[in-house]
Amino acid sequence: MRIDVVTIFPEYLDPLRQALLGRAIDRGLLTLDVHDLRAWTHDVHKAVDDSPYGGGPGMVMKPQVWGEALDELCASGTPRLVVPTPAGRPFTQAVAREYAAQPWLVFACGRYEGIDQRVLDDAARRMPVDEVSIGDYVLVGGEVAVMVMVEAVARLLPGVLGNPASAEQDSFSDGLLEGPSYTRPEVWRDLAVPDVLRSGNHGAIDRWRRDQALARTFHRRPDLLDALPEGALDKHDRAQ
Ligand code: 6GU
């Protein structure tokens, strides 16, 4: 998969080259190119923003600079353009899976009060454009949201995780939160590992884990239970 990111703070994205994703890049599973938006300015001040039409606080990113950047980056094909904004549709695990199936993503990081809407309207004439939010809170810019999304997408690419079963057992993959995990020692600060996990009875272990996931989801995210598809809960689940 190819990922391009356009930002006025390219070094902000450096952490994506660490650890698991760094290895995926080194192994050629993922190509990550980060571009400085100011490279497409023409004035001495390298201005990327201006005051908003209609008044109000803050600054809006200028359309000409973004237009030239996207024209040049997208000249060779049709990527999916992703624009992080708190005003976007929610980024979920389902969206991460959808992105992981794309050959090419371009992320356009806005700062200030966002990017002139015509940049997105114009791009949408040539490519799919998604405005997405990573949650109901406001960040100072799209860079950290892009890091979140790239990490969520990259770990789903074939070969990136050592053990692909990890992705299959994630929270959300079955619509429920994952339950608790334990490792040695058997007793730590007088707290014991639940007996069932040491029983060797894999049927009982699976049932226990499912019940833990259901209880945790019920308490922490009842909205997820309401959203489960018809038939997702069996009669043992409903007895919980
Ligand atoms: Cl994607 N961008 C910004 N700037 N703030 C956010 C966000 C995105 N998602 C939640 N808050």
Residue 78 and residue 5: Cα distance in Å, rounded? Answer: 15
Residue 152 Cα to chain centre, angstroms: 4
| Mean local confidence (pLDDT), 89-110 | 98
Which residues on neighbouring strands pair with residue 115, listed in sequence order? 61
Q: What is the mean pLDDT of the chain?
A: 96
Q: Is 133 in the pocket of ligand 1 (CB under 6 A)?
A: yes
**Number of residues that this document lists for the chain:** 240
Q: Is 149 in the pocket of ligand 1 (CB under 6 A)?
A: no
Residue 183 and residue 186: Cα distance in Å, rounded? Answer: 8
pTM over cut 0.90: yes
pLDDT confidence tier of residue 228, bands split at 50, 70 and 90: very high
Catalytic entry in 170, 178, 211, 237:
170
Q: What is the ipTM of this complex?
A: 0.92
Catalytic entry in 155, 207, 209, 216:
155
Q: Which domains does the chain have, with CATH numbers?
A: 2-154 (3.40.1280.10), 169-239 (1.10.1270.20)
Q: Tell me: the pLDDT tens digits for 35-60?
A: 999 999 999 999 999 999 999 999 99
The alpha carbon of 13 and the centre of ligand 1 are apart by a number of angstroms equal to 15
